[in-house]
Amino acid sequence: MARPRAKRRAEAAPRIDPGAARARAFWSGTLTFGLVSIPVYLYPANRRGGVSLRMLAPDGTPLARRYYSPETGEEVPFESLVRGYEIGEDGKHVLVEDEELAALAPEKSREIDLRRFVPADSIRPLYFERAYFWTPAGDSNKAYRLLARVMERTGRAGIATFVMRAKEYLIAIFAEGGILRAETLRFAGEVRTPEQIGLPEKPEVDRHTVRRFEKAIEELGAEALDPEELEDAYGKRLERLIAAKRKRGEGVVEAGEGAGAGEDADEPVDLMNVLKWSLKSAEKRR
């Protein structure tokens, strides 16, 4: 007796953790190699944790961040900003126009170009930058699972490139437990070598000293890393402190007039204006 069609579709759907299902895919594309095309969604594997603290004025107003001239102290409007590449140590820059950057930008594409497969353990973690999960999109679950299974069985990782937000990324794709994970990779020029750090030559060490180090490592050995060791102890203490102060009503301030909490917090702080504001406040108090 044939199974109901709805049931077959349910069994074919990928098993995703309920907590992860609440996350939203922020990019989608097609993983391609040879004659194979697998539509996929991209999810961040990392999330911002801990407690985020903002810089506030004494009256509780969140401080805005602005670009300003260190010579004149005047704010520079965003539309007046230009980009430049510093050359030498004499403060000279080569200006680069927006049109020139646009001409160099990679062509927009939804294709993940899987270029080659390499042994997974041949990629040094030093090159890893940020982790993502790929999940199957549309009717690609079968092909997705097959690719993950073969990659995991053969111990291979895929090296691919894709374009996201006008930037081309180099990634390594790993298979673990039937799931494909992508790690964006740093380019060779972004990684230092031991020779560039200036390590001294290896010294000669006697056998007794070697054994002493081996014994110390054995005493602290474990079969695997305990996830509890990855907990942010400081962040937890900070969360408890904030919760306790909030409960007591201690140090709770209401934002005054000025910058709102939704303003961009990634811009440089206008320290000149903050300093002027602080001096004026001090004069008023006196």
- State which H helix or E strand residue 166 sits in: none
| Contact (Cβ atoms closer than 8 angstroms) between residue 147 and residue 130 | no
Given pLDDT bands bounded at 50, 70 and 90, which one contains residue 268? very low
**Torsion sign across C-alpha atoms 176, 180, 181, 182:** positive
Contact, 54 vs 265, CB < 8 A? yes
* Number of other CB atoms surrounding residue 159 within 10 Å: 16
For domain 13-76+103-194+231-286, the CATH architecture is: Beta Barrel (2.40)
CA distance linking residue 143 with residue 38, whole number of Å: 7
Domain spans of the chain?
Answer: 13-76+103-194+231-286
* CB 176 within 8 Å of CB 185: no
Q: Would you tell me how many other CB atoms lie within 10 Å of the CB of residue 184?
A: 16
Residue 275, pLDDT above cutoff 80:
no
- Please tell me the predicted confidence (pLDDT) of residue 230: 82
Query: For 241-267, what is each residue's pLDDT tens digit?
Result: 888 988 888 888 776 544 444 444 444
Portion of the chain with pLDDT greater than 70, in percent:
80
- Number of neighbouring beta carbons within 10 Å of residue 30: 18
Question: What pLDDT, in 10s, does the model give residues 38-54?
Answer: 999 999 998 777 678 88
pTM of the model: 0.68
pLDDT tens string 132-149: 999 999 899 999 999 999
